[in-house]
Amino acid sequence: MPFVIGEQCIDETDRSCLEECPVDCIYEGERKLYINPVECIDCGNCQPACPVSAIFTDRETVPGQEPFVADNAAFFLELLPGRDRPLGVAPGGASLVGPVGADTELVRSRP
């Protein structure tokens, strides 16, 4: 039951959740943060730290946020703009990867 970051995070990347994640599984795109569903240990520390209430579990999806469940996984599996390969299923931690500087099509399509 990994956690997911929804639409409320777009252009509101406060990053408070990053400090609370004990396994470094929250990655930074250009406009939004993404939780790696494989690396997430479901501890829930990130959820109360989010000032815009953008974090929820993949099983308790907030109405209207359903597309963001698949989108969080897509961030790691799809080829993102400006990159020569996908990040991969388990890229090894957000601090190792650093800011990615790109987002999924779903996030790029949002105003």
CATH number at residue 71: 3.30.70.20
Range of the domain at 9: 3-108
Q: What is the DSSP letter of 31?
A: S
Number of domains, the chain: 1
CB contact at 8 A, 3 and 44: yes
d(CA 69, CA 3): 9
- Given a cut of 70, is residue 75 above it in pLDDT? yes
- Given a cut of 70, is residue 47 above it in pLDDT? yes
Which of 61, 5, 58, 60 lies closest to 28 in space, CA to CA? 5
Which of 64, 60, 62, 91 lies closest to 75 in space, CA to CA? 91
Q: Which pLDDT belongs to residue 63?
A: 86
- Given a cut of 90, is residue 60 above it in pLDDT? no
